[in-house]
Amino acid sequence: MVLLFPLIDSEKIYKLPHIVISFLQLLHIFYCTIVNFIFNVYLFLSKKEKLPKIKNDLLLIPATKCAQMIRDKEITSYELVKAYIDRQKEVNPFINAVVLERYEDALKDAKSIDEYLEKIKPYTKEYYKIVDEKPLLGVPFTLKNSIKCEEFPPIAGIVCRNHNETKADIMCKGVERLKNAGGILLASTNVPELCMWIETNNKVWGRTNNPYDTRRSPGGSSGGEGAIISAGGSLFGVGSDIAGSIRIPACHCGIFGYKNTPKSIDVRGHLPEPDEKIMNMVAQAPMARYACDLKLISKIYMSEEERVSLRMDEEVDINSLNFYYIEDFSFMEAQPMTKDCLQGVHSVVKMLEDFNKVPVNLYFDEFKYSNVLWQATLQYYTDDQVTGASGYMNNFSKTKVPFLQEALKNMFCLQSNHDLGVMLWLYEFENLRFLNPQLKKKYLDMRDKLMKKINDILGDNGILIVPAYPTVAPPHNHQLFLRMDKSYTEIFNVLGLPVITCPIFLNSSGIPVCVQIAAGKNQDRLLFSFAEVIEKKFGGWREPK
């Protein structure tokens, strides 16, 4: 069905006679089974490279604890930064996540911090000033390459930008706040070309691998961040998300990924640069190995006005919350839900039942239109210029990048400066999935009704638990054939709800299984508290072995 849907209106398919729908479902399952069989043969025949085990215990301490230990002079910032540099050098040959680095400068920054702290006596006025104003003092972090900062050019996997050392015009304010809070930027991480695909591969730096299984994808577009954080090479980083670009890598790499309520955090300072309208779909927020770090890092990343707007300092009583869950979107675009991913949701539901909370099982028929709702919303917020940002791929030359021609070059192993997945995505959405005004209006009306319905249910004290993805991390290139699996994440960009991806367990192949937890608009604070509960119950991130 993933081949059929671009050609036919989704709603018309679901209005066909029941026997026809059943037949199409069988065809869809058969197609998915064939694709998965072929890729399972590939996994069987290919060799998995094992990452070196983490030997330095400093790499296993949460960021908040590291900052406290540095302030209390139990460890030095230099030791911590050096440990993370060494780990990045150790694992990057396996996963290819780090693409630019500033190791020497980071060590100098750390040494300066240690020298400054030598003069500070514990528990004095100046000590507590550091706690308040520089809560991350001496702690290293990483950054998605598409996010603009002073230290690294935003190349975003685009060949024609590879040697463009021009500084970004608009710096990301959130990254500046992290640095002002004492964080030390170590490295910039890989992305798909222009962040336009759900696997991380480009013609500048190549492919990023999943730390749990190098034959598998770390997801995209924040795949470099997901991989290096999960591999123990970074404590936390920053990603961006328009269809799942934070949450898919967080899911595939077994870490925590936060997508904020749209417009609650300033997303300027990104390539491509978002305009006012598209900000209603885009998020820019932290990814972290430990849930106990996520709230503090997010608060620092926000402006004071943004923190107040989201009521981030309010205490959350978990016992006062209402819980809901969805098992499956039950539709024919993504592949069928695997038992592992369904078990992830059931595990969280069982945990809540053990706490004498009874989650309500919900079903929204509109969720099966997730992809077309996302398409309609994207067209609406871009004034139908869904591929306009592709101009970055050739420095906005008058000659447009020929998406289909470049895709065919990749298929026939000919020279191309562009990635196959990105070219197919752009061609499909410009030519096959483009909605006429009547269809667009129909799906926007459907979106608005769903938005009201789900916000009325969640209110200001509800949390929704859903699968993070229909499968665990797929093999490389698998998503070229099953491109609609992102339906499980992109629906929340459509609805404008805050979401956190949380790891639950490793399956029998040692690959992370995760869930998404969502709340009503501007109720982000509820998710941080519940993510910590989930981490304590299930153990959170686990070292790739």
Determine which one of 82, 134, 144, 299 is catalytic.
144
Residue type, 338: T
Q: Is the Cβ–Cβ distance between 146 and 246 less than 8 Å?
A: no
β-sheet bridge partners, residue 193: none
- 96 neighbors 208 (Cβ within 8 angstroms): yes
Query: How far is 251 from 514, CA to CA, in rounded Å?
Result: 5
240, 245, 390, 487: the catalytic one is 245
Q: Is 302 left (phi over 0), alpha (psi -120 to 50) or beta?
A: beta
Q: Which helix (H) or strand (E) holds 132?
A: helix 125-133
With residue 236 as reference, give the H or E element that holds it: strand 236-241
Q: How far is 443 from 382, CA to CA, in rounded Å?
A: 16
Residue corresponding to tokens 């906005």: 396
Euclidean distance between CA atoms 347 and 355, whole angstroms:
13
The helix, strand and coil proportions of the chain, stated in percent and rounded to the nearest 5, come to 50, 15, 40
Q: Which helix (H) or strand (E) holds 501?
A: strand 499-506
3-state secondary structure of 330: coil
Pairing state of beta strands 140-144 and 184-189?
A: parallel
Q: Which of 77, 217, 221, 264 is catalytic?
A: 221
Interatomic CA distance for residues 542 and 290, integer angstroms: 10
The C-alpha R_g of the chain, in whole angstroms, comes to: 22
Active site residue 221: yes
**Residue matched to tokens 């691998």:** 209
Amino acid letter, residue 22 = S
In the residue annotation, 217 being an active-site residue is answered as no
DSSP helix/strand/coil, 316: coil
Tokens of 59: 């790499």
Distance CA 451, CA 492 (A): 10
* Catalytic sites, residue numbers: 144, 221, 245
